């Protein structure tokens, strides 16, 4: 089974960097025929999934050639390869999800942390079922999406298990705009329940929630929402996810990921503290 696109691209990009100025033909020759040029090309360009043993052999070869193959990088790339070959629960929804959506779910399942900035809506990992239903319905731009709202809600709720799993739950630090909290719904009680969920989830040790007030000074967050998926000591595998109305974008270049990390840090400074944010959410909930 092929690994999701983002993971294949990340693996291929790292191997391409390690190859340096060597041609694919030279790598094939130095591997003494273990790797055909076509096979190397398919792995680097993410056209086919790599096997862990092949990645190990390539890394051994690059290490002998003087490339900087640290133990951390080796472990990260091997884990990336092995996990890419595993079948996740979301595959049972393949008729519902797009490949890009599958990528996001698989990355969330593997990540150590998510640093989220949301300009207009509550982060998906913190949404209630009814809020998720209303958001999906409101942003559906095709009849195909409208026809699968129920399973999409199921998927969104299933994604949230990463926050409460027994072993190494995902660390979520979410910054949410005040306007997202003050949104209204035609369905009664939706926002009351949603704000209540933010307050309860915010008490968990692995979740921090901050609110950026509408009156805050101009800031980078006005350019749009984004999530930074962090992989702990494998930081060079971190990736940024931007979601639009009809498409999503993944940013993998380290300098661009670092720029988003800097923007997110500035937003944490501009937002209310975690404690003050909980008080503000409570106040908004009472006023609705």
Q: Which of 38-47, 162-171, 245-254 has the largest mean confidence? A: 162-171
Strand runs labelled E in the chain:
113-118, 171-177, 207-212, 226-230, 239-243, 248-251
- Closest C-alpha to 158, from 212, 213, 93: 93
4-43: b or e for each residue (b if 16 or more CB lie within 10 Å)?
A: bebbbbbbbebbeebbeebebeebbeebeeebeeeebebb
Domains along the chain with CATH numbers: 5-84 (1.10.260), 94-127+159-287 (3.30.870.10)
Residue 102 has pLDDT above 80, yes or no: yes
Q: Which of 49-58, 135-144, 250-259, 276-285 has the largest mean confidence? A: 276-285
Per-residue pLDDT averaged across 140-144, rounded? Answer: 84
- Closest C-alpha to 85, from 60, 52, 53: 52
- Whole-model pTM? 0.84
Q: What is the pLDDT of residue 245?
A: 84
Question: 165 or 245: which carries more pLDDT confidence?
Answer: 165
Q: What is the pLDDT of residue 119?
A: 96
Q: What is the pLDDT of residue 83?
A: 62
Per-residue pLDDT averaged across 92-120, rounded? Answer: 89
Strand runs labelled E in 14-162:
113-118
Question: 246 or 5: which carries more pLDDT confidence?
Answer: 246
Average pLDDT of the chain to the nearest whole number:
91
CA atoms within 13 A on the CB side of 252: 13
Residue 211 has pLDDT above 90, yes or no: yes
Q: What is the pLDDT of residue 2?
A: 44
- The whole-angstrom separation of Cα 18 and Cα 76 is 14
Q: What is the pLDDT of residue 3?
A: 45
Residue 31 has pLDDT above 80, yes or no: yes
Q: Which of 17-21, 76-80, 182-186, 271-275 has the largest mean confidence? A: 271-275
pLDDT digits (tens, 9 = 90+) for 39-90: 999 999 888 888 889 999 999 999 999 999 988 888 888 877 876 555 678 8
Rounded to whole angstroms, what are the CA distances from 205 to 38, 164, 168, 185, 201?
48, 10, 12, 30, 9
Residue 10 has pLDDT above 50, yes or no: yes
The answer to whether 80 touches 11, Cβ cutoff 8 Å, is yes
Q: What is the pLDDT of residue 1?
A: 38
DSSP secondary structure code for residue 140 in this structure: -
Task: Kindly state the percentage of the chain with pLDDT values over 70.
Answer: 97
């Amino acid at each position: 089974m092929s690994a999701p696109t983002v993971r294949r691209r990340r693996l291929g990009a790292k191997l391409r960097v390690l190859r340096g100025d060597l041609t694919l033909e030279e790598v094939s020759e130095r591997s003494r025929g273990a790797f055909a040029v076509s096979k190397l090309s398919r792995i680097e360009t993410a056209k086919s999934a790599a096997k862990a043993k092949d990645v190990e052999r390539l890394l051994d070869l690059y290490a002998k050639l003087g490339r900087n193959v640290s133990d951390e990088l080796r472990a990260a790339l091997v884990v990336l390869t092995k996990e890419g070959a595993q079948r996740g629960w979301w595959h049972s929804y393949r008729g519902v999800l797009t490949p890009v959506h599958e990528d996001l779910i698989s990355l969330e399942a593997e990540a150590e942390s998510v640093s989220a900035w949301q300009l207009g809506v509550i982060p998906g990992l913190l949404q209630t079922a009814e809020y998720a239903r209303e958001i999906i319905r409101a942003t559906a731009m095709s009849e195909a999406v409208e026809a699968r709202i129920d399973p999409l809600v199921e998927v969104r709720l299933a994604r949230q298990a990463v926050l409460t799993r027994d072993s190494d739950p995902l660390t979520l630090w979410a910054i949410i705009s005040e306007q997202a909290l003050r949104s209204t719904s035609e369905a009664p009680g939706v926002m009351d329940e949603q704000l209540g969920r933010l307050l309860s989830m915010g008490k968990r040790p692995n979740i921090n929630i901050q609110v950026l007030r509408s009156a805050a000074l101009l800031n980078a967050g006005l350019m749009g929402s984004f999530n930074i998926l962090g992989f702990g000591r494998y930081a060079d595998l971190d990736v940024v996810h931007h979601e639009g109305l009809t498409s999503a974008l993944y940013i993998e270049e380290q300098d661009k990921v670092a720029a988003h990390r800097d923007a997110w840090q500035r937003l944490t400074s501009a937002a209310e503290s975690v404690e003050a944010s909980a008080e503000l959410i409570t106040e908004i909930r009472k006023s609705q």
